[in-house]
Structure 1
Amino acid sequence: MAARISTLSGLLELDTGIYIADIGAALLAETPVYAPLVREYAQAQLFSFDGDPRQIAALQAHYGDKATVLEHYVGDGEAHTAYVCDAASGMTSLFKPSPAALGFFNGFDDFGRVLQTETVHTTRLDAIDAIERIDFLKMDIQGSELRVLQHGREKLRECVAIQLEVSFIGLYEGQPTFGDIDHWMRANGYLPHRFMDIKRWSISPTVRNNNFRIPFNQLLEADAVYIKNPIALQHYSDNQLKRQVLFADLFFDSPDLAVYCLRELCTRQVLGEQALRQYFALLNTPAER
């Protein structure tokens, strides 16, 4: 992966830093798509947020000097009640768990059990001076994603890709769901690109093979990726196009999007045609894919 990142940064003639923000970054199960870039590319800067103090030490130990770890509940800048659940469940939220929704799914009565409540003060993304800009944003914050977007427009002005958890059935009272998120994203210049993961879950009380984690067909949530509108490339700066190529290849396994943006860079004469040839050679190198 280090060789691929080096080749990509070279053919793209990258000359600016890459700024990544992960809001709700607790190390629970997944490996973030940005992890190899942060590890291997010196100009990648990660800002890792979590409002739950139980998660901070693990984040600091994991990333060391590769990330700036910030203990913030990011939101609308107002005070809210935090509904604190078991740290391993990942269900601590600024929205109150819905007993009806939790009871619909096997196991969620336990996952969403509130251990305590506390008043917390949230910070608007736009008010966080430590961040110059955000090129790629990842969020998984149990229903507060829309609040962050609504109060982070300035920091996201240069952002070309956003990966966030969307819920098809809200597990929390008043939680914005997929349609609400999709409406905001489209209204603010983003289109859906792909689902990184779609989570289904079994409906209570029916269980498959004595394991309630094995789903049938009910949709629960997904990690959705939105990208700055690719049909209107005139609204991309040259550097935004370069970053989109990088993310398309390294994060999303979308070489077609990478080529699409590379061609525009060549049309603008920002890069020469050799950049496309180099990229196709990279795609055809078995050891690199």
Structure 2
Amino acid sequence: MAEIGSQKKLPAGLYVVATPIGNLSDISERALEVLSGVDHIACEDTRVTAKLLTAKLIKKPLSPYHEHNGARERPKLLARIEAGERIALVSDAGTPLISDPGYKLVAEAQDAGLYVTSIPGACAAITALTLTGLPTDRFLFMGFPPNKSGARQSWFEAEAKTQASLVFYESTRRLPDCLADAAAVLREREVAVCRELTKKFEEVKRGTLADVAKWYADEGAPKGECVVVIGPPAHVADAGSGSDMDTEHLLEAALKHMSVKSAAAFVAEITGEKKKAIYARALELSGR
């Protein structure tokens, strides 16, 4: 198998290539080598990818691959790889498969025994997490929220007890309404809205859900693209690292100083998990 980055020809296969989320300088040397070395590039929007390739002096055949044509295009792309071609998969920005349908192509390529590799790089969700000042040891990426208020509130309600930071993408046009729904369900949690990441007007707006929701309600929808990060429930954020909040570790520590019943009650209160389940696990740990 040829080594990426060497002068050898790339092996036939599928190359999942991360592209910049804003600043074109963020593309890696390896990504440029792969895009230069493949036979064809499947992309979310050919116009967007063409701009990137033009800026980097790369000329390659492009074809659209997205949720609306994926079922039709997958067999064609797989057949090309089986015939010996090198195919790159890119999204409009960031890492493919993160909130897009590329995973189906990857799964079918792997099932067919074809070579699949990933060229890592920018990801808006991860970039946002590094800027928020909110806990990053445990997080849940949620994609895009529903468009309608009722469905959106149910969407937040389903993760209200999740012991992690919540990360999702949202249209700036819907941002004020989305934050209002989040505040109604999740109450006084911390939130950071990260907008135009890596671009000239990059901005991070932090505060409580209520305060940030009110700010955008007063100011109106901003321009650009954004990632929203909502901090975990207060008791999780206050506890520090994820290892401190691990139920198993908490129980083990509590059982050294408390009875099974007291330890279970204490850990259930700290984590917000059901006392019955915690008690059952405490019994197992104590050997009873």
TM-score by length of 2: 0.28
Q: Quick check: which one's helix share is greater? A: 2
TM-score by length of 1: 0.28
Q: Quick check: which one's strand share is greater? A: 1
**Larger Rg computed on CA atoms:** 2
